[in-house]
Amino acid sequence: MKQQNFAAISRLLETLPPTTKAALIKRLALSYETPLQERVFVNRNLRMEKIQYVGFDLDWTLASYNRLPLEELTFEEVLERLIKVYGYPALIRSAEFRPDFSHRGLLIDKAQGVVLKMDRHRYVGRAYLGRTELEIPEHTRLYRQERIDLTRERFYHVDTLFELPEVNLFSEIVELKRRHPESLPLSFEEIFRDIRVAIDSVHADGTLKRKIIADPEPFIPKDPTIALTLQKMALGGRKILLITNSEWYYTDALCSYIFDKETLGLSSWRDLFDLVVVSAEKPLFFRKNRPFVELDTSGAENGSVLIPEWKKIYRTGSRDGLMSLLGCLGEKVLYIGDHIYGDIRWTRVSSTWRTALVIRELEDELRNQQILAAEMKHLMQVKLELTDLGQELDNLREAAALLATLGPDEAEATELRRLVLLELQESAGQHEALRSRTAELQARVFSYFNPTWGSLFRQGSSKSLFASQVEDFACLYTSHLRNFLHYGNTHYFRVVTDPLAHEGEM
């Protein structure tokens, strides 16, 4: 970090309580080694000194929710709405809230009622109908006899943390339908549709948001480092933007709670941002040219424009209109969000903006990797042994097949066949034992991450579909926005290595 940047940060720290200030100074110290869980990881080289504008999403990016209370509230609200509004039987109140069942990157097969996980090759690794994992014959029939087209309406991608209660509830109601078909005569697609609409409605009509605003403490932890992160990024004249799908009333309430008493030397959270865009309707914001509707601080509309102005609040709008204001190359804009589809993929596909993805789950993933480091290393060694033994088995089978072509009257050949077959039998036994050992080790590692789905970033030996999307669309990724405090404003995020499979030994 350049000395002048560090001095500016130190001045900003003066308004903080002593204990908080000491912790933050430690985080910013040049000699401080960044913990693995707090690092920013790089998929594509990015020079921060070239970034002139930084845009932020709100939910799960600036507002780092506590997952469990928010998921439970959503689950219960949607459950009640299904009963009271959509006429579902009271039986569904027996649905169990299982927060560990869901994670991002899953897909819902609406036609079959199945929740599944794919690897980066679109190969279905695990699939659950209700609470039951599909048996191999059914799994094969549904997902391995033809290539799956993920663009079809049949599949729903679980991209955000807001959608995890939806996956949980869908599987629970599918399970109840299997047990009580007479009480739930709806098709799987109808159940999915009702849950999807109910989820959207509790967000859109303010049911969830009013409860969060009324008592935000259980749902949103206070974090003074978020305000500091924004102020640090603004050093040197860089502009800071807020572009969120949340409505103005919710954005204002949330940001007031998060920032106003934590904001360093500023009168209001709005002073942190050079431009605020609410109800942006991402990814439509990146795809369609629409006017910006100006709002005052009460939320009242003051007309619309195609090109926004600095220090104002707007609703909807578009990337095209924003770029007319910025007047720069897209590569000078960095957008930071949590939604792989709405925030990151469409930003990359429709523009040259740079992207950073906040993956809350990454912190736990990295911690688990450290805890399991010895076991995972041992598992890799066993897999290599299994590969070598498999090669030996192939060679022995080929030798046995070749010897079988020789005449039975050749004594030496007969004895050699006997020895090869004995060796083959012994090696096959060793191979089977090693396969069982590998499966046990893999199951132990798998269940430590998540007993149903394993690691967010892995499916079997391959990267998961989610991991491949992170790799394809996010220039940077990290577990928390505050992790950027570890890096200078001119830091060069560099790809150190990006090996192909054949380069693994180099």
Query: Which residue numbers are catalytic?
Result: 57, 59
Residue type, 386: L
* DSSP code of residue 506: -
Helix %, strand %, coil % of the chain (to 5) = 50, 15, 35
The CA–CA distances, whole Å, from 203 to 176, 200, 399 equal: 25, 5, 66
Q: Read off the tokens for 389.
A: 């033994």
Q: Kind and range of the H or E element at 172?
A: helix 164-179
Count helices and strands (H / E) in the chain. 16, 19
* DSSP code of residue 51: -
Pick from 325, 323, 300: nearest CA to 313: 300
Pick from 277, 445, 286, 455: nearest CA to 355: 286
With beta carbons less than 8 A apart as the criterion, state whether 484 and 233 touch: yes
Asked whether the CA dihedral 384, 385, 386, 388 is positive or negative, the reply is positive
**CB burial string 231-268: b at 16+ within 10 A, e below:** bbbbeeebbbbbbbbbbbebbbbbbbbbbeebbbeeee
Q: Are strands 275-278 and 239-243 parallel, antiparallel or unpaired?
A: parallel
Q: What are phi and psi of 457, to 5 degrees?
A: -100, 0
Asked whether the CA dihedral 155, 160, 161, 163 is positive or negative, the reply is negative
